[in-house]
Structure 1
């Protein structure tokens, strides 16, 4: 799931100021914590119970759709971070999703968050699953979006999607073909415009450093994830409320993956939204509403 959306893409396809709504008064204040022998950059916005957002392969904390963040921040204290070796975080070789979950757990401890809701998208869903398995006391609710359970239970995307996903430098059109279904590519370009505007206004960090070496390391970590059934077996031990969310037309992670996750985690709920891999951006209002309602469970 190698989806890299950097700011230069937005600049390349839209003139400054195009697309999206006007800038919000919120300005991201990035903090840096020492965790696991490196530095982890993070910021927060909103008020309420903490909700940790974990993004996908080759992505920084600046690449969440600002429009989705505005919706989620109405009811939650969002905590966004850069994985080691990417964005504004320090160097570090993460060779597994277990090690990345260790980093997330360490950051939570460093900033005084004893328990949080966790939302993992794409590769971030791998990290979120490991966090829920290895640090059950840190996770109060789990939202897994556009991700897979690992091992033989994984349903791979289309051959075309896999080919694009393996490209070192995919074009804007190729990236948007994975994130948005046919007929909705204009929405994808508006998303890129929102990223540009939010970066210029300071609503999101100017944080788009994506070293190839880090991306290669993240991609390499997917190989053992897909070869082993360990994670899938351990999903049965997750004891927190879980929402598995899928894009109905996701060519990268077909909805069957989320169905299998929902079947494996006791009591998990499944929700399918219109859209492709970026369904949570395209269907952001219905997705944010579903997350809000789900996270009210037991509160």
Structure 2
């Protein structure tokens, strides 16, 4: 009976959040490349990157390459409910000045075909298939929230593929507070899309909320050939995956000791979705980790402190 109540709560939470986010279904072009060229020919990686497709594990995976720098590329792994256009351009453009940045949609998310996996290990497998399908045998990873869980799993199961890792809004398996996700989703029922963004990603102070409004405006900038939003089915499966990661796991921190790659952890002091204690514990378990905690910032601390984050990320990747 308890499991049934949890499932019912989760389904209700998913439904109200999808309504709050204003998610609609849109048709996608069937060609293999969607081009976005804004008037004036201004160079903005996030705005102008083409949407391309590659087949991986039988699914047509949508992706974009921002910039074309030499060296090890940086693959970004998205958080719960997000598609390619939900990344903050201040982050993607800033990183693309020095590195080839690759963003993509998991199966069933955005304009990618297939069914979205309902667990982190399968999401990691799909991500690895995509990366290898592009021909890369070594990449850097940047994972945000759910994307950070996927990044950890890739580092554990495909260590030879990973050069360096950046984790933000993160925590290990069994993260403290993560199982409260359905409550956060249900609390978003009557909020506008912007209010959901601000409540989920930013602290309650006037300073953080102001930074959040600026970030929200940046995220909305790309309008031509914008990526499709996630479907209700995809969102439900992603919630299941995150709640699966949240299950108690006494060996999680010990397991992370096997991850020897350099890891940069970035967390907000006021993160309610994945409390900062999780990042602190991870930084003590990972053999080669550096932790940055931003004050008066929450789950998307790196959106709020985007200039400082980009500077630190580029330094970390360049060492």
- Conservation of the 8 A alpha-carbon contact between 1:241 and 1:268: yes
Contact 1:241 1:267 in 2 (8 A): yes
2:155 maps to 1:135: no
Report if aligned partners of 2:106, 2:123 keep a CA contact under 8 Å in 1.
yes
Contact 2:107/2:116, CA 8 A, preserved across alignment: yes
- In structure 1, the residue corresponding to 2:257 is in which secondary structure? helix
Corresponding position of 2:113: 90
2:227 partner SS? coil
Q: Give runs of aligned pairs for residues 192-231 of structure 1, distance below 5 A.
A: 192-197=216-221, 199-200=222-223, 202=224, 206-229=226-249, 231=252
Residue 277 of structure 1 is matched in structure 2 by: 299
Give the secondary structure class of the aligned counterpart of 2:160.
Answer: helix
Does structure 1 residue 177 correspond to structure 2 residue 199?
A: yes
Change over 3 Å in CA distance of 1:168–1:93 after alignment to 2:
farther
Alignment of 1:10-159 (within 5 A): 24-26=43-45, 27-46=48-67, 47-48=69-70, 49-151=72-174, 154-156=175-177
Name the SS of the counterpart of 1:119 in structure 2.
strand
Aligned residue for 2:220, secondary structure, equals: helix
Residue 251 (structure 1) aligned with residue 272 (structure 2): yes
CA RMSD of aligned residues (A): 2.7
In structure 1, distance between residues paired with 2:146 and 2:44: 31
TM-score (norm 2): 0.80
Partner residue of 2:314? 292
C-alpha separation in 2, matches of 1:179 and 1:295: 25
State how far apart, in whole Å, the 2-side matches of 1:31 and 1:178 are. Answer: 30
The one of 180, 184, 208 equivalent to 1:164 is 184
The answer as to whether partners of 2:141 and 2:165 remain within 8 angstroms in 1 is yes
Q: Displacement of 1:28 after TM fit? A: 1.4
Distance 1:7 1:294, change over 3 A: farther
SS in structure 1 opposite 2:166?
strand
The corresponding residue for 2:27 is: none
Q: Distance in 2 between matches of 1:260 and 1:267?
A: 13
Three-state SS of the structure 2 residue aligned to 1:227 is: coil
Higher Cα Rg, which structure: 2
Which structure has more RCO (C-alpha within 8 Å, separation ≥ 6)?
1
| Count of residues in correspondence between the two structures | 278
Counterpart-to-counterpart distance in 2, 1:25 and 1:77: 14
Q: Summarize the Cα distance change of 1:69–1:231 in structure 2 as closer, same or farther, 3 Å threshold.
A: same
Paired position in structure 1 for 2:31:
none
Contact 2:44–2:93, Cα closer than 8 Å, also in 1? no
In the TM superposition, what is the alpha-carbon distance from 1:192 to its structure 2 partner?
2.2
Gaps of 5+ in 1: 10-22
Partner residue of 1:266? Answer: 287
Counterpart in the other structure of 1:189: 213
Cα distance in 2 for partners of 1:88, 1:69 equals: 19
